[in-house]
Amino acid sequence: MSKAVLTPEQQEFQEYARRWLAENAPPPPPERLPITAIEVMTVGQRDYLQAWQRKCYDAGLVGADYPTEYGGGGHEGFQRIANMELGRAKVPFLINIVGLNMAAPTILVHGTEAQKEKFIPGCLSGDEIWCQGFSEPGAGSDMANQQTSAVPDGDDWIVNGHKVWTSLGHFAKWMILITRTSKDHKYDGLTYFLCPIEGHDGVTVRPLVKITGEAGFNEVFFEDARVPDAYRLDDVGKGWTVAMTTLTYERGAAESAGSGGGESVHPTQRLIELARDTWRDGECAADDPVTRDAIMQRAIVAEGMRQNGRRARVEALCDHPMRLPLQQKLTSSEFVQDNARVGVDIAGAKSTLYKLDERAPSKGYWPLAYMNSYGHTIAAGTNEIQRNILGERVLGLPKSK
């Protein structure tokens, strides 16, 4: 974002954010951090990242555009600047990814005043970690096929069922939860709750170990778990509509006012550094024309994505309001996967050396990135589902059967 498009107040905020981050970068973590928040596994990693998010929030770099009555900064157009500066400073990512990018914006749209005041500040500060209860073992990619039930009982609901692939569930205090409250209507039979998780009676969280050896995912069992009606988000039977709001933010089709942070390295810079450090038969990989072409292809795609991001923010340049935003999840997830594949190709046989091996190139980043990359094309609905959405809602193609 150039200074030419910033207001004087935004320019002042940008200078403040840049200065604050230079003066307050956290010390090295006590143990190695994962690539993203969804792989945070240990208490040491959690405590370090939670303290960092709290510090950024206190400095006004998280939730900058949220109303002050809900714990935000009350500004307009500041959060994007904060996100950019957090990335530029190469500081650790913010841990409460579900709270920031899904729970808080959904509560802001659909919540009561009491719900906004109670839940949004904890999302922004990171004091209360959130997880997402959308995926179920038997639902596949059809989110409307939810079977976890919620039955009214006085002022409460009794929840029974099984959720899976619950990132950060082992540290979460709250879950955004989709339940079935009627079997008579597939879409209108869903209801959305803000469900207590940590230490809550009837809720059991079990970690799932991934192919990477990390256990950021979980499965969550509900056995007669009691959830107050006061924690129901929007009306009974409106769960599908509320969930669409969540997915709009999760898939990147709407800008989250509370996101930000994370190490920012140009997407192809790691590949260039790897190629410069990799030698085969006495030749540097950076001098190999095939390798150079592969990296250049990735750079072209990265620049295309960057320009599409800029274009999406200019209404006059968009022929359909959802075309470019909806492409974001599809293109970015495949870009991550293709980048990792090129990295593994460049590293060659050494790409089999994992993160604990001192001989591993880039400290084992590439095999970890490669294995993790497949989660990106599945998360938030598979890319096949995303293609259907683009085809039907943007291109107007006949609905799939």
pLDDT tens per residue, range 222-248: 999 999 999 999 999 999 999 989 988
pTM of the model: 0.85
Q: Judge whether 253 and 321 are in contact, CB under 8 Å.
A: no
The confidence score (pLDDT) of residue 108 equals 96
Spatial separation of the C-alpha atoms in residues 168 and 129, rounded to whole Å = 8
The one catalytic residue among 250, 273, 283, 358: 250
Q: Which region among 130-139, 200-209, 244-253, 367-376 has the lowest average model confidence (pLDDT)? A: 244-253
- State mean pLDDT over 295-324: 84
Spatial separation of the C-alpha atoms in residues 358 and 360, rounded to whole Å = 6
* Residue 295 in this model has a pLDDT that exceeds 90: yes
pLDDT bucket at 257, cuts 50 / 70 / 90: very low
Q: How many CA atoms lie within 13 A of 103 on its CB side?
A: 31
pLDDT tens by residue, 383-399: 888 888 888 888 888 87
Q: Which residue has the higher pLDDT, 106 or 352?
A: 106
Q: Does residue 273 have an active-site annotation? A: no
| 14-46 CB burial, b ≥16 within 10 A, e <16 | bebbeebbeeeeeeeeeeebbbbbbbbbbeebb
Spatial separation of the C-alpha atoms in residues 192 and 146, rounded to whole Å = 11
